[in-house]
Amino acid sequence: MLVREETDPWGLAVWPRIARKYFNIYRTSLMERVTYRGDFFLRSILRFLPLITTILLWRAVYAGSGKTTLSGFAYNEMIAYLLLVHVSRMFSSMPGLATNIARTIREGELKKYLLQPVDMIGFLLSYRIAHKSAYIVTVSLPYGLLFFVCRGYFPGWPDPTTMVAYVLALILGFFIGFFFECSMGMVGFWMLEVSSLLYIVNTMNFFLSGHMFPLDLLPGFWVAVLKALPFHYMAYFPAAIFLGKVNPDDLPRALAIEFLWVIIFVVMARCLFRFGVKRYSAYGG
């Protein structure tokens, strides 16, 4: 043991085994997701239907206002924004994650993670990456067709630097969404029933993230407040980057702040899990 510690003081030899373990979880979860690909594909397609209603609604809003732009968004940019928000939410939304964590705690199933050499958050992260991979591949064709049909709403492709920033914002948005939902699910250590709380939080998140409309439409004070919160990184921020609504000089700082929020939620989820396990009693299961 002493020799091993002297030759590998950082324990680097175990990292390849850990990586293989979670890669196998990812691969198994991916196979599970594509087993019922017909049902998965149908449910993915049905998510486009509300978008049609939203486009018609905003057409009526612009026609009724008699204006060509609202808070710097022309009608074409508004439709492009709503399309891009669907891409943002495709990465950052984590349906059922917090509910499943709370149920796992409540029903005593958490002990399987405590007894086996598998970290619960690491397992759920691998599983969710597999889910997102399957979903993105499944909807790539219909999304590509939709964006091709609606290409007239877009001003064109952004420059390479902006495109890289857009992709980074999407990836960071995924981690914010995942660890935020994990943190919400950990509330199950202290509350027996969290469904009402999760409903309120998810409803607020849907609004505060800019999913319903660009945050710029709100009064200036509220725009500043909401952009100081992490929620707009889940929907508004990536779409705004793509449409050139974020100053290129501000992009590095904005991405750094988004990365900082990722770290904050990672630490929050880990701390809540650690403190929660100390008071956990494995009833049921």
Task: Please give the C-alpha separations between residue 193 and each of 103, 178, 205, in angstroms, as whole numbers.
Answer: 9, 21, 20
In a domain, 2, yes or no: no
In a domain, 6, yes or no: no
Burial class (CB in 10 A: 0-12, 13-18, 19+), 147: middle
- Please answer whether residues 243 and 77 qualify as being in contact, where contact means their C-beta atoms are separated by less than 8 angstroms: yes
Looking at per-residue pLDDT, the higher value among 168 and 145 belongs to: 168
The chain-wide mean pLDDT, for the chain, equals 82
Percent of the chain clearing pLDDT 70 (strictly above): 81
* 248 CB neighbour count, 10 Å cutoff: 13
Looking at per-residue pLDDT, the higher value among 195 and 250 belongs to: 250
Split at pLDDT 50, 70, 90, the class of 285 is very low
Looking at per-residue pLDDT, the higher value among 51 and 1 belongs to: 51
Domain count, the chain: 1
In a domain, 24, yes or no: yes
Residue 242 has pLDDT above 90, yes or no: yes
Q: Whole-angstrom Cα distance, residue 168 to residue 173?
A: 8
Per-residue pLDDT at 49: 66
Split at pLDDT 50, 70, 90, the class of 3 is very low
pLDDT in tens, 12-28: 555 676 677 666 666 66
Per-residue pLDDT at 160: 92
pLDDT (average), residues 66-85: 86
- Please answer whether residues 104 and 285 qualify as being in contact, where contact means their C-beta atoms are separated by less than 8 angstroms: no
Residue 158 per-residue DSSP state: P
Q: Where in the sequence is the domain holding 197, given as residue range(s)?
A: 16-278
In a domain, 223, yes or no: yes
In a domain, 5, yes or no: no
In a domain, 145, yes or no: yes
Task: Please give the C-alpha separations between residue 206 and each of 51, 101, 246, in angstroms, as whole numbers.
Answer: 15, 20, 21
In a domain, 97, yes or no: yes
In a domain, 11, yes or no: no
The answer to whether the Cα torsion of 72, 77, 82, 88 is positive or negative is: negative
pLDDT in tens, 148-203: 888 888 888 889 999 999 999 999 999 999 999 999 999 888 887 888 888 888 88
Q: Whole-angstrom Cα distance, residue 174 to residue 265?
A: 12
pLDDT in tens, 104-143: 888 888 888 887 777 888 889 988 888 888 778 777 777 7
